[in-house]
Amino acid sequence: MNPVLNIFILFLGGAILTYFAGRINKVLQSLLFLASVLVPAFLFYTQLSIGQSATFSVDGITLNWSLNYFGWLFSLIVLGLGAMAAIYAVSYMKGKQRLGTFYFNFILSIMSMTGILLSQDLISFFIFWEIMTWSSYLMTIYNGNKVQSIGIKYFVFSAIGAYAMLMAIVMVHSITGSFLIKDLINAYPTMQLGMQIWIPVLLLTGFAVKAAMMPLHVWAPGAYSNSPMAYTSVFSGALSKMGVYGMTIVFVTLINKIPQGIWFREVIAWMGGITAVIGTLWAIKQDDAKKLLAYSSVAQLGYIITGIAIGTELALLAGLFLAVMHALFKGTLFMVVGAVEKQTGTTNFTEVSGLIRKMPWTFFAALLSIIALAGIPPLGGFVGKWMLYESLITSNHYLLVIVIFFSSTAAFLYCYKFLFGFFLGQEEKEWSHVKEAPAAMVVPMVILSLLMFVLGTFPGILLSPINNGLQALGYTDSYKNLWETSVILNGWGNHVVLQPILYYIIAIFLFFVVFLTLKGYKNTRYVTTKDISSSGEIPKEDENLTFSENFYQPFFRAVEPVMRRQIDKFYKNLGEGLEALFEFMRRIYTGNGQTYAIYVIAFVVIMLLFGNYLLK
């Protein structure tokens, strides 16, 4: 049988088996779950070669699946992060309710994302897209908190996006008579202008929702923070990348082909920039780690969107590189939050503090991911940001680069808040019982954070697949052109490049760190965090000295005018207004039988009066 279909069947069968295995044995269920994520992922990389395809005919539509380099690139995110999160999830979810639902939806999400990457026609793309949507929706409401507000909001926005996409799909079908993406790409340059504008707009709306772009991002914080953290790392890390995946395809294969595309690119790039700023500002304000990371995801996706929308070779590389890096570090960070939540039961910065000595490995993973997120060399985030700035400047987006840079600088604020809130600060007696998370949770985090380090030091490892992917989309070989424009991108050994510099840096780094640490440990004495210089006052054991309320109060005093306006409120008012309108409209049904009879007679009379015009 075809390996593509095999993978789908394995996923689906695994999901169903896992769901029901919970009735028999929890351990068996966990093992089945791991198997049904890892085995298809393994098959994907061993059995599937580039260009391998499968078809399935249904309802007169041929569903077409095939693997190309671009999909392969994103499969690294989906399956790699998915596998790690799966290992993490088994330990994270131990002892929770409704395990079957969790595992089922987890596997379905991974399957649908793999399906999206393999889809070569719009219908199967849409089907997998929707499966992804509802499986992630079910995860969003898994905890049972705020299902009516957060869950519905997520689903409504997803549905708006998906339906916009569906509208574009039927538009394409009515023009080309085919659902194949290939046909769309071929027919697109010759379409009439209206269609040339509407189809990308609708498709981009669909993708922008998943990628949490600015006016459509309001679902993200709630949904990300409400899902179980083991899933959120996939949700934010991989699932949002599907929006990026679609956007890249739309930009590269459609919008870049028409002269009017410049407007799309500018508008979306600016929206990405604004998304980054807004996401960052709101992330700084959050006191809950999940919310903070959720807003941070929005902001990071803003960078990615900007990079992709700019659309120069370097910008695309930057966007996609950042996408992979974001999957890595945000996946890790959500896992960190999950570990903290598992061990302490809360994720609020104002409650938890001083876990560093209790959860050192978790802290290590968090530290590396935060460094990557902040874009500090030598971790991977820097390379992406560097390329982004370079591309913004070379493509004459001078103000945009300021905007992006501002949000990137402000990102340090929440980066620090995250590390400080959980791991640093006073070690309170309340959390003295906390222990390091189980090994099955720590190992994926550490592996991912080491990966970040590797990719930051040798970005060429990742850049050549990205380049292959872009070529698969019909882009020129950007990789080769970039030899001249920059040197940071090279792989091993070519040119005089960043690597020696990085080695230098690492050498200095290690020298100082090792020297000072060794020297320090010999001569310094550990004291508890209660022993601080507090004007001679002796803090009591149960006295909470940690500074965590109103953490960035001065900053918010400075940016207060920006924060006053909230898109969320606008949507809320819109929704409430609509519901009030509907409430008014249903008063048509008065409940009085006679009124209904009068409606009938009125209908007849009106029809008789105007029937000649209406029915002719």
- The residues in 332-361 that bind another protein, with binding defined as CB under 8 A, are 354, 356-357, 360
400 with 273: CB under 8 angstroms?
Answer: yes
Q: Which is nearer to another protein, 439 or 605 (CB)?
A: 605
Select from 406, 436, 446, 572 the one that contacts another protein (CB under 8 A).
Answer: 406
Tokens 């808040």 belong to residue: 417
Q: Near another protein by CB under 8 A, which window of 21-29, 76-84, 437-445, 598-606?
A: 598-606
* Shortest Å, Cβ 73 to another protein: 24
Q: Which is nearer to another protein, 28 or 147 (CB)?
A: 147
Select from 27, 262, 267, 393 the one that contacts another protein (CB under 8 A).
Answer: 393
Does the protein bind another protein through residue 493 (CB under 8 A)? no
Beta bridge partners of 180: 121
Does the protein bind another protein through residue 482 (CB under 8 A)? no
Does the protein bind another protein through residue 187 (CB under 8 A)? no
Q: What does the alpha-carbon distance between residue 554 and residue 118 come to, in Å, rounded to a whole number?
A: 49
Coil, helix or strand at residue 459: coil
Helix axes 99-118 and 3-21, enclosed angle (nearest 10) = 170
Size of the chain in residues: 616
Question: Binding to another protein (CB under 8 A): which residues in 529-568?
Answer: 529-538, 545-547, 551-555, 557-559
* Shortest Å, Cβ 441 to another protein: 21
* Shortest Å, Cβ 552 to another protein: 5
Nearest 10 degrees: Cα torsion 388, 390, 391, 393: 120
Question: Binding to another protein (CB under 8 A): which residues in 288-327?
Answer: none
* Shortest Å, Cβ 105 to another protein: 13
Q: What does the alpha-carbon distance between residue 210 and residue 204 come to, in Å, rounded to a whole number?
A: 10
173 with 179: CB under 8 angstroms?
Answer: yes
Select from 28, 31, 159, 258 the one that contacts another protein (CB under 8 A).
Answer: 159
* Shortest Å, Cβ 419 to another protein: 6
Q: Near another protein by CB under 8 A, which window of 75-83, 292-300, 402-410, 565-573?
A: 402-410
Tokens 């769901």 belong to residue: 19
Q: What does the alpha-carbon distance between residue 302 and residue 211 come to, in Å, rounded to a whole number?
A: 8
Q: What does the alpha-carbon distance between residue 542 and residue 261 come to, in Å, rounded to a whole number?
A: 62
Q: What does the alpha-carbon distance between residue 601 and residue 587 come to, in Å, rounded to a whole number?
A: 19
**Amino acid letter at 209?**
V
Find all residues with CB under 8 Å of 275, minimum gap 6, and list them. 212, 213, 214, 217, 298, 299, 301, 302, 305
* Shortest Å, Cβ 50 to another protein: 27
Q: What does the alpha-carbon distance between residue 155 and residue 151 come to, in Å, rounded to a whole number?
A: 6
Select from 193, 521, 542, 564 the one that contacts another protein (CB under 8 A).
Answer: 521
452 with 379: CB under 8 angstroms?
Answer: yes
Q: What does the alpha-carbon distance between residue 125 and residue 111 come to, in Å, rounded to a whole number?
A: 12
Q: Near another protein by CB under 8 A, which window of 1-9, 85-93, 148-156, 247-255?
A: 148-156
Does the protein bind another protein through residue 201 (CB under 8 A)? no
Select from 17, 252, 390, 448 the one that contacts another protein (CB under 8 A).
Answer: 390
Structure tokens at 556: 């918010």
Q: Which is nearer to another protein, 49 or 148 (CB)?
A: 148
Find all residues with CB under 8 Å of 87, minimum gap 6, and list them. 34, 440, 443, 444
Q: Which is nearer to another protein, 51 or 494 (CB)?
A: 494
Q: Which is nearer to another protein, 36 or 408 (CB)?
A: 408
Q: Which is nearest to 373 in space by CA: 422, 424, 317, 413? A: 413
Structure tokens at 405: 């840079």
Q: Near another protein by CB under 8 A, which window of 23-31, 36-44, 334-342, 524-532?
A: 524-532
Q: What does the alpha-carbon distance between residue 467 and residue 483 come to, in Å, rounded to a whole number?
A: 13
The gap between the terminal CA atoms of the chain, to the nearest Å, is 57
Nearest 10 degrees: Cα torsion 548, 550, 556, 561: 150
Nearest 10 degrees: Cα torsion 336, 339, 345, 348: -10
Does the protein bind another protein through residue 409 (CB under 8 A)? yes
Q: Which is nearer to another protein, 45 or 547 (CB)?
A: 547
Q: Near another protein by CB under 8 A, which window of 81-89, 133-141, 219-227, 429-437?
A: 133-141
* Shortest Å, Cβ 87 to another protein: 27
Tokens 């020298």 belong to residue: 511
Q: Which is nearer to another protein, 259 or 585 (CB)?
A: 585
Select from 433, 435, 564, 616 the one that contacts another protein (CB under 8 A).
Answer: 616
Does the protein bind another protein through residue 46 (CB under 8 A)? no
DSSP 593-616: HHHHHHHHHHHHHHHHHHHHHHH-
Select from 42, 69, 163, 571 the one that contacts another protein (CB under 8 A).
Answer: 163
Tokens 């509907």 belong to residue: 582
Question: Binding to another protein (CB under 8 A): which residues in 3-42?
Answer: none
Mask 366-385, x = binds another protein (CB under 8 A)?
-x---x--xxxx----x--x
Can you give the three-state secondary structure of 349-375, one letter per residue? CCCCCCCCCCCHHHHHHHHHHHHHHHC
Does the protein bind another protein through residue 178 (CB under 8 A)? no
Q: Which is nearer to another protein, 570 or 589 (CB)?
A: 589
Select from 80, 82, 151, 338 the one that contacts another protein (CB under 8 A).
Answer: 151
**Amino acid letter at 534?**
S
Q: Which is nearer to another protein, 492 or 613 (CB)?
A: 613
* Shortest Å, Cβ 91 to another protein: 25
Q: Which is nearer to another protein, 474 or 575 (CB)?
A: 575
Does the protein bind another protein through residue 492 (CB under 8 A)? no
Question: Binding to another protein (CB under 8 A): which residues in 54-93?
Answer: 57-60
